Structure 1
Amino acid sequence: MDFCVEQTCKLYNIIGYLNGLSSSVPIFRSSSQIASRTMAPPQISSRALSLLLLLAAAAAVVSPAAADDVVALTEADFEKEVGQDRAALVEFYAPWCGHCKKLAPEYEKLGASFKKAKSVLIAKVDCDEHKSLCSKYGVSGYPTIQWFPKGSLEPKKYEGQRSVEALAEFVNSEAGTNVKIAAVPSSVVVLTPETFDSIVLDETKDVLVEFYAPWCGHCKHLAPVYEKLASVFKQDEGVVIANLDADKHTALAEKYGVSGFPTLKFFPKGNKAGEDYDGGRDLDDFVKFINEKCGTSRNSKGQLTSEAGLVTSLNPLVKEFRDAADDKRKETLAKIEEDVAKLSGSAAKHGKIYVTVAKKIMDKGSDYTKKEAERLQRMLEKSISPSKADEFIIKKNIISTFSS
């Protein structure tokens, strides 16, 4: 079983990892001391270098996925959650640890699978943030996975394989549960030579395509981020997040000038020749890019922002309506209706909401905006579908322009 040992990293002043072509390379405090596969710093022994390269190779993995289904514990709440009326599997990890990064997507699948199992908690502890807690439970390498039976703070160390299947089998055995691994549906559109043109060259869609190879370390690292990106924009019909196995479909890769992996190309509605994506590869970078290029307004959690649905060209008329005396508002409403009739696409759809809100204000008075905004907020706090949430947020945003 492979572990990341904090003492080893401290000994050689390793402060992080640099993602290489096929591995993650340790970054030393001195810029002149970067370990590589071909040249070792003179003060590091060959044995130490071998260990570091082993760690580096294992770190060429995907980054942690969203951890909503895995409970993050702290020193303040650990004993309130663990050792109580349910058993717990706890991963003690470090954010810089390559083995932890490799485990992350498997552990997240485990959390998703056991989410509804009331007798079991799937949790994790960041040992960089909570060193004393990890020390208390004898953690000396990462990741360390421990099983805490119901009502006990005496852990049993997990020594099995780090696949979601093996972890689930262990938890089911210890807890007496019979949980099956949850299938995680993908929001990424998988392209083939047969479907590429009909999807990517569709003039009604903005399409981001990742050309990848299954063996590529960088592609594996990008995979969970790209999946989250697709999930963020899955409610936007005009946005497609797709990928193509360029190692398998080489003709298409060559057609679009793909020479390295992953290569990302954006095919907007107005340029189906495609343009290279050269931005950052964090989720926030991708979300910002899509919002700017596609006119969407979402955050990295997939929620619409306070700008969603707003038609800025209507701002002057909204202000005029807001400031007008009651007997003059009908005249301004007519102007709003006239401008909305000239809009197209999503702006036309949202423009109609402006008209509806203006009519409601004229019918029910200025208090309508406050009461309706409060009603919508109450609805948003309930369990509703993503499409309904989008609908309510857009209406709430538009209402806010009439009450500013």
Structure 2
Amino acid sequence: MLPTLPLLTSLLLLPSALANGLYGKSSAVLSVDGQSYRRLIADSNHTSIVEFYAPWCGHCQNLKPAYEKAATSLKGLAKVAAVNCDAEENKPLCGNMGVQGFPTLKIVRPGKKPGRPAVEDYQGARSAKAIADAVVERIPNHVRRLKDSDFEAWRDEGDEPKAILFSEKGVVSALLKAIAVDFKDVMSIAQIRNKDKAAVDAFNVEKFPSLLLLPGGGKDPVFYDGEMKKDPMVKFLSQAASPNPDPAPKKEKAKKSTASKDKSKSSKASSSFSKASSSHASSEAQTAPASQTAETMDDASQPSESPNPKVDTEKPVHVPSEPAPPIKSLPDGLSLQQQCLNTKAGTCILALLPAVPSEKTLQAISTLSEIHHKHESAKRNLFPFYQLPHTNSQAAALRAKLSLSEDEVELVALNGKRAWFRLYPFSSSSPEDKASPLTQRSLEDWIDAIRMGDLPKSPLPSGLVVPVEQLPEEPVKVDLGGGDVGEGDAVDEDFLAQMKKQMPEGMEFAMEEIDDEEYERILAEQRKGKVEEDEDEEGGEGHDEL
């Protein structure tokens, strides 16, 4: 049967329609090209997610509804953009960004230096919620968290405009983070919790949330009385300071020599990418059915692989994709007491592991490790994180005292000095709390709330915390230059040479690893010897030895 005229017409129009791209001018998705990418995305103070696509790609067409929905939900908070890699003028950009298949999603976050953003591949689910959540997690936080103890010092810093959000919540919202980005370096934005009564009373705050503008220059504070929406809030704050323009004003054109060099690089990337793209399109055309059929989003969870992915690229700054090193393990009761359960220990985050690790256990350790590694890499002081194996005797006592299940991973924040603890609310043992999913965002929010003192705490049962004076001193650790030395490891040659010089001539020495039980026995003998030595000094006659 021959196709009807209307069908033939639609088939003929399809290529030209797709050539214009998937997202029109009325779409919530921002269409970006090779010329506007730097100004709109790379130089922006805002976080962006960018889809690199080809209009003929079936997976890209399936992603479109969810991507547009994510763009609508992120309006005013972050940028949701798309680049048509099938357009000739965009091929250098797609090549330079390392695009090897469609669709490819990349999250672009402002870097420490302007114009040098951090770029990471988005590998999550292809749903609107998952995309939006991932972007929100990466919105920079320029909001200052204030308490009764420091709000006056912050208020009196300089004479520039400031703004405070008084809230019943301890966590900074994406909305306030986005507003702080708009006013970065021109107005200081802070948040104060309703429980900080001194600050609340000082500004006569009567309802929550309340936004207060401190204009500076001797002017009186002004309360905002409109909707808690971004546009009217920004307009209100703009009476004291102008927000940063976004996109930034266009800069002067680069010098001719630089432009010529960039053009050469772009031409090379474009040529290589064109070959990969053409091969990809040909491959998809051979395997695609004659008419478009519905595909589930699960099938589109991975980008279509390019048959010829070799692209000569000028790589952007990428977030390392290697997994974070696991958090430190405390194998025995003594190490737990020395680090966390003594009268001088600060706050610790503990992961109590079950005898048989489940997927939930692995996820908890992985997430805590990622958080710890992120803060450690940024040189931010945070609580120490530890994992406690089920063989740790004090971990078993901790579970018993806190009435925790032995079969599930449990996350506990505790403070030995102040003798309090707090459970992560995914635990079935904390029914008074609303259950939280085990995600990096929810865990970071929980940790941040503990750090700011926003969560109620329970007293630690007696018998868990020991006086620090009763603990033996931790053994001095010798840095061998290569980490811990285990069976088959090579000990640092310089260290061995230094030790050999201190030995009598002809005498040799060897290093042997001992297990935890032997280590405990040696420490016990050391403590016993110290007691006997003290008794001898008190009861016997002292004498000097040469």
- Bin of the TM-score, shorter chain as denominator length: 0.3 to 0.5
Structure number having the greater helix percentage: 1
TM (normalized to structure 2)?
A: 0.27
| Pair member with larger Rg | 2
